[in-house]
Structure 1
């Protein structure tokens, strides 16, 4: 049975680390803002095994004037469970959460290889590609809600 529930920041680390920070120490999985009261973390589990995570931060993209923005970060699905629809389920959960908070926009830094996944869910690229040192090529993507 698939279950998506709100979890603690530290609970995301066992999924963030192998997917987003392979070969790096577990401490690299802590993101600024993880423990703020305005941040929410969600985990997708099957038979009580955590397979995918996403985090939502109430933060504004500096170049955007839309009010009540949220940033999606730390989206990760364990490798052997990718392409099974779990990522899409988590993005929809994140969107639902943001709508409940009267959010008007979700934005994030998408890895180059994930752009087509997000485009299928209605997200658009804003600007040119950029590098995050030690992580790779990214694009800023967004969706108005």
Structure 2
């Protein structure tokens, strides 16, 4: 009988994201580089995607106001990462959908992120729109702001 690959999502702590965040987003950098400002605020939440009880994907959502897009209270997606061996299988879209569902329940009107240039096609497929020009995040690389209205 074939092993079922059960996928579950749950809210986790910031530090629990590190085993996926570090090798995917901060490879070659110290583990401490996985700590993002705002990670431990009461309004921030972190999603863990598990397959057969193994953490394979993470995303962090930080409540912020982004006046460059719309003058509304919004959430920023940060630190989204899928374990290398699980990339390209649709898990990122499932995490985004899960996050959007939680945010809609909270009455959030907008989700935005500083998307790596290489991730623009992924976020576009998920319904996100580019805003502004490409900019460089020091020691990380080129990014662009992308957003989606959730109402």
Helix, strand or coil at the partner of 2:104: helix
Taking the aligned partners of 2:70 and 2:135, their CA distance within structure 1 comes to 22
TM-score (norm 1): 0.97
Helix, strand or coil at the partner of 2:124: helix
Taking the aligned partners of 2:72 and 2:65, their CA distance within structure 1 comes to 8
Taking the aligned partners of 1:115 and 1:94, their CA distance within structure 2 comes to 18
TM-score (norm 2): 0.93
1:52-107 deviation digits (Å, cap 9, x = unpaired): 00011110113234322110000000111001111111000111111111000001
Give the direction of change, closer, same or farther, for the CA distance of 1:65–1:118 in structure 2 (3 Å limit).
Answer: closer
Query: In the alignment, which of 110, 113, 120 is matched to residue 115 of structure 1?
Result: 120
1:27-70 deviation digits (Å, cap 9, x = unpaired): 00000110111001000010111000001111011323432211
Residue matched to 2:3? none
Taking the aligned partners of 1:67 and 1:134, their CA distance within structure 2 comes to 30
Helix, strand or coil at the partner of 1:59: strand
Paired positions, count:
145
- Gap runs ≥5 in structure 2: 1-5
- Does residue 36 of structure 1 match 2:41? yes
Taking the aligned partners of 1:49 and 1:65, their CA distance within structure 2 comes to 38
Helix, strand or coil at the partner of 1:118: helix
- Gap runs ≥5 in structure 1: none
Residue matched to 1:4? 9
Taking the aligned partners of 1:113 and 1:65, their CA distance within structure 2 comes to 25
CA RMSD of superposed structures (Å): 0.8
